[in-house]
Amino acid sequence: MAKKRPQTKATTAQLKDGPIPVVGAREPCPCGSGRRYKACHGRAAAHAVTELVQRPFEGLAGECDWVAMRELVPAATAGLTLKDGLPEGVPSVTLATVLPMAWPALRRDDGSVLLALQNDTSSGDLSRDLADTLRRALTAEPGNPVAAQRVPADGPRLQDLLDPEAPFKPVVHAGFEFWVPDAENASAEVNASLERANAAAIPTVLLSGSDAAYWCETPEKNHLRWVMPYAEEPLLDALARLHAAGTSSLGEGTRLVGSFRAHGLTVPVWDLPSAMGAEECEKPAAEFAERLTAALGVNAPLTADERRARGGLTNRQVTLS
């Protein structure tokens, strides 16, 4: 019969007051229990950090555009307004889709901050990850990128840092020149990253007359991808009603081909002819928005044709996040 191990007392005083700091999983827990962090306070922290938040941008101004910048748009920026104002020495904070060398954030030489949205994150709460990166960027030394790190489970979220009343207005760029205000003085590494990013970027345009509707060009055909703010079930019902009635397209040669889920929102997708540019989408998209609003207001049960249309839309739905 195996002998019981003698119980040992912790060799360091336990932290009874205040939060327990986050340390490496195999390091001694800062609470002084004598156990490794992963077997002590790290258990609860790991569960909290990895729990998936379905709508990380909920409550932020422009939630649909946040989703689009995260999943759809290659090159875009948007100014951010902090609840407590800008710290001294930080003239501006700008959200960017991506940054050179996949940096999570960058404090420029002039003190301004760029925060990248499309980077991989360490937890299931994208908002908390971004808020942690933003806070570290605000105090970083000018001229330096901000490295990725594991995020404390009880840290603030973007909703705690950003002004919910401030407008959120994405600016879509043809390329990533916004990375380097002075390309001639940028490093060879940054310029090489810029060239690679520009070569891979899909031409994308935000429609001026429709919220969070993005036209994009591909070699085979063009597409319109529209992030919708409505709850998924009523939206799919409304799209099915329009589809069954033959009014779900954006004009001749266009077709509603399905939708995908991204960060808790639904994004319908239309195939467009190669000759149909962003400007040609403006009027039919505005007209579709009116039809969709009317269909969302219908409470009658779906007809047989509408149920079949809904089934087809559901079968072609993909979840991105």
How far is it, in rounded angstroms, from Cα 255 to Cα 269?
9
pLDDT tens per residue across span 249-303: 999 999 999 999 999 999 999 999 999 999 999 999 999 999 999 999 999 999 9
* Structure-block tokens of residue 269: 């997708």
Query: Edge-to-edge strands of the sheet including 113-116?
Result: 144-146, 105-107, 113-116, 93-96, 76-79, 171-172
CB–CB of 82/93 below 8 Å?
A: yes
The architecture in CATH of the region 204-319 reads: 2-Layer Sandwich (3.30)
Question: What's 162's DSSP letter?
Answer: B
pLDDT tens per residue across span 42-92: 665 555 445 789 999 999 999 999 999 999 999 999 999 999 999 999 999
Domain range annotation of the chain: 23-52, 63-200, 204-319
Tell me the Ramachandran region of residue 129: left when phi exceeds 0, alpha when psi lies from -120 to 50, beta otherwise: alpha
How far is it, in rounded angstroms, from Cα 70 to Cα 96?
9
How far is it, in rounded angstroms, from Cα 289 to Cα 210?
8
| Predicted pLDDT at 25 | 60
How far is it, in rounded angstroms, from Cα 241 to Cα 102?
43
Of 8-17, 106-115, 219-228, 230-239, the poorest mean pLDDT is in 8-17
